[in-house]
Amino acid sequence: MKVMLLYPKWTGVYGIFAHFAKRASTWPPLNLGYLAAVAEKKGHEVKNIDGQVENISLPKIIQETTSFKPDIIGITATTPFYRLAIELAKGLKQLDGKTPIVIGGPHITLVGEEAFAPLFDYAFIGESDESWPMFLERYQNGKDISSVKGILFRDGDNVKFTGPAEPIDDIDSIPFPARHLLKMDKYKLGTLRGTKNFTSILFSRGCPLKCIFCSTKIFGHRVRRRSVKSVVDEIKSVVSEFNIRHFYFADDNLTLDRNYIMEMCDLIDRERLSITFEGSTRADCVDEELISKKARSSEG
C-alpha cells in the first residue's frame, strides 16, 4: 500500500519574518519519521513531504501528493498551525475525495474530537507506534478498525473513539526514524558554535515532573527509556549515513536520570563519535560534575 505523510510549510504565516524564522532553525518532523519507519517495516511504500524544509507551498504539496497516488494520506500538525492542516486537507479532498486522510500530532492528541474536522477520515490520539501499523493492515485488508485503540473515526454522521492507546513499554523495539525519506542536509539549528546541520533524537518518553508550562498528555508521567546502546547506535547511523554530527535531544528532561546520562556520555566517549549535542532540562536536575561530563562528551 502507498502511504503519503505530510508536514505543511508554516513560515508563510510570519510574513516578512518568515526568512528569519526559517534561518534560525528548521526541525525534522521526527514523528513522521517514526511512522514512516514502522510502515516501511510492514512492507508499505512510503513518501514523506516536509513542506517547510523543502519550501513547498500547499498547492504544490497537493499536486505532488495526487501524483504519487497514495492509498492513504497522513498529516501532522501542532496547535499554532492546525489551520494549515485543515487547508491542506481541503485542497486534497477537492482533487480526490476518495483517498482517506488521517490527522495526527500534538494538537489532535490534546484536543481530541473537538479538532476532528469533517475533512479528516481518521485521527490518531496518543502514541501510534503500534496502532498505526495495525490500522494500515486492517485498512488494506478491508477489516474492522474499531479494535485498534487510539483512533477517532467516522461512522456515517457519528464520530466514534476506539479508546485510549496504551503507551508502548519497549521503546527499543521501535525502528529508528526513516530519515532517508527526509532532506536531512537541509535541517539547520543555530548553536553557540554557529549554524549546524542537525537532527533531533529521543531516548525517552514521559516525565514525572509537573512544570506548569508543559503538557504531559503527549507521553504521560511514566518514564520509559531506550537502552543507552540503542541511542548511541542511532547516533552512529546518523553520522555514517548523513554525516550529521549535531544532535538535539528532544526529551522532556535531558538530565532527569543522572546515571543514564553519565552512562551515555561514557559510551559516546568510548566510541569517539566526535559529536555535539544539546537538550532541555531543569535547574534542579543538574550538577557541576554532570555538566562537565556532558561538555567533554559534546566537544565535537
Find residue 48's DSSP bridge partners. Answer: 5
Nearest to 148 by CA among 140, 139, 158, 157: 139
pLDDT tier, 25 (very low <50, low <70, confident <90, very high otherwise): low
CATH 3.30.750.210 fits 187-297, yes or no: yes
Tell me the domain boundaries of the chain.
2-161, 187-297
The sheet with strand 194-201 has its strands ordered as 188-191, 194-201, 246-249, 276-279
- State pLDDT tens for residues 28-53: 999 999 999 999 999 999 999 999 99
Amino acid residing at 278: E
CATH superfamily, region 2-161: Response regulator (3.40.50.2300)
- State pLDDT tens for residues 96-111: 889 999 999 999 999 9
pLDDT tier, 214 (very low <50, low <70, confident <90, very high otherwise): confident
pLDDT value of position 12: 59
* Local structure of 153: helix, strand or coil: strand
In the structure grid, which three cell numbers stand for residue 109, read together? 492528541
Instruction: Report the percent of the chain where pLDDT is more than 90.
Output: 79
C-alpha 127, offset from chain centre: 11
pLDDT tier, 26 (very low <50, low <70, confident <90, very high otherwise): confident
83-87, 126-130, 254-258, 294-298: which range is least confident on average? 294-298
Beta-strand runs (E) in 13-150: 45-50, 72-76, 101-104, 122-124
Range 98-115 burial, b when 16+ CB lie within 10 A, else e: ebebbbbbbbbbeeeeeb
The sheet with strand 101-104 has its strands ordered as 45-50, 2-7, 72-76, 101-104, 122-124, 151-155, 158-161
pLDDT value of position 51: 94
What does each C-alpha distance from 198 to 5, 13, 112 come to in angstroms?
Answer: 21, 24, 32
Residue recorded with cell 562537565: 292
Evaluate whether 219 touches 207 at the Cβ level (below 8 Å). yes
Higher-pLDDT residue of 213, 151: 151
For residues 251, 38, 48 and 243, what is the CA-based torsion angle, rounded to 10 degrees?
60
Long-range contacts, stretch 288-295, CB < 8 angstroms, 24+ apart: 290/255, 290/258, 290/261, 290/262, 293/261, 293/262, 293/265, 294/255, 294/261, 294/265
What does each C-alpha distance from 241 to 72, 147, 150, 194 come to in angstroms?
Answer: 29, 38, 34, 22
- Tell me phi and psi for residue 219, to 5 degrees: -115, -10
Rounded-to-integer distance, Cα 40 and Cα 136, Å? 11
- State pLDDT tens for residues 47-92: 999 999 999 999 999 999 999 999 999 999 999 889 999 999 999 9
Rounded-to-integer distance, Cα 139 and Cα 76, Å? 19
DSSP structural state of residue 13: G
Rounded-to-integer distance, Cα 93 and Cα 119, Å? 7
Proportion of the chain in helix, strand, coil states, percent, rounded to 5: 40, 20, 40
- State pLDDT tens for residues 253-263: 999 999 999 99
